[in-house]
Amino acid sequence: MILNHISILNYKNLEQVELDFSPKMNCFIGQNGMGKTNLLDAVYYLSFCKSATNPVDSQNMMHERDFFVIQGFYETEGGDREEVYCGMKRRQKKQFKRNKKEYQRLSDHIGFIPLVMVSPSDADLISGGSEERRRFMDVVISQYDKEYLEALIRYNKALQQRNTLLKSEVEPDEELMLVWEEMMAATGEVVYRKRRAFIDEFIPTFQAFYSHISQDKEMVNLSYESHAEQGRLFDLLKESRVRDRIMGYSLKGVHKDDLTMQLGEYPIKREGSQGQNKTYLIALKLAQFDFLRRTGSNTTPLLLLDDIFDKLDASRVEQIVKLVSGDRFGQIFITDTNRDHLDKIMQKIEGEYKVFEVADGAIYERKGAVE
């Protein structure tokens, strides 16, 4: 999938932006706070129907504006043209359209434009709670597996209903509790099975990317933990009900799944340097890209790289540059405050590329080659 053109009105600090992109490499240069990340976030929005950084849509409007619009004009691998539109007015429901036809459910759009974003906030995958690591799995699998997304939505609905019953001051209705537990168990088994299959296939690719970037300096691992490994989810939920009632929420289930991230035999959260942590995260995301490219709808994902060179030594930067400029990656959007990094990339690129300057929410293309 190629994003040929984007049109933005009143999104964050981007008042009015119209840009034509290169089908390969698009570089955005500017100081911090100028709007580089906001431009990538608008591209992300067209894939996921939401911002990568702020889930509250009304807060993504430009200050003192009453609406925002993002439009993307794409071209598929087969040469078909696709238009994706998102518009929202303050205090109204957002509209999301593909080729001028509005979606009845936003979840139907997920996976149509596969996308992988690498950003500084990825550090939460290592330092944050387990919900960050579950979200990582969900974002990947939901882009190529509709059954997974449906099961996840239904599981979360059942979980919410069961938790409401657990918090009730009166004794919950037994039959109603069983209904929600059966739904949690049935959908939870689907979620567990698909997460397990994904991680088992994902790990070798991830380790290969890490070895390439670090030039085999360290070994890394990733393992998946779930209550579903302890037995049937339905039985676990029933057994845990008395304790859950005391706590007021569900202690067992796939909503407690986690990924253990290791450097050697130790948690990377405790042992890793800033450079090692950054390498680990970039390898995770590049493996995510490779997995989607092979597993999805035979559509090469868009790759967004936001300020990825910070905290990395020169040799690791060079290895990443070699990787992303290769044939296995499609259209790339990359931001940096440092011209040197981008110049190195440009020297490796044989095909077309574009460089854009970003300043105070204004973005314009720099004509001519990078000096």
**Which residue segments constitute the domains of the chain, with CATH numbers given?**
1-114+299-371 (3.40.50.300)
Check pLDDT > 70 for residue 366.
yes
Cβ count within 10 A of residue 310: 13
| Least confident range of 49-53, 226-230, 273-277, 346-350 | 346-350
pLDDT at 55: 81
Mean of per-residue pLDDT scores for the chain: 88
pLDDT at 351: 67
pLDDT at 284: 93
pLDDT at 370: 44
Percent of the chain with pLDDT over 90: 51
Would you state the structure tokens that stand for residue 271, as one six-digit string? Answer: 């042992």
- As a whole number of angstroms, the distance between CA 24 and CA 26 comes to 7
Check pLDDT > 70 for residue 368.
no
Check pLDDT > 80 for residue 29.
yes
pLDDT at 371: 42
- As a whole number of angstroms, the distance between CA 43 and CA 70 comes to 8
- Asked if residues 332 and 305 have their Cβ atoms less than 8 Å apart, the reply is yes
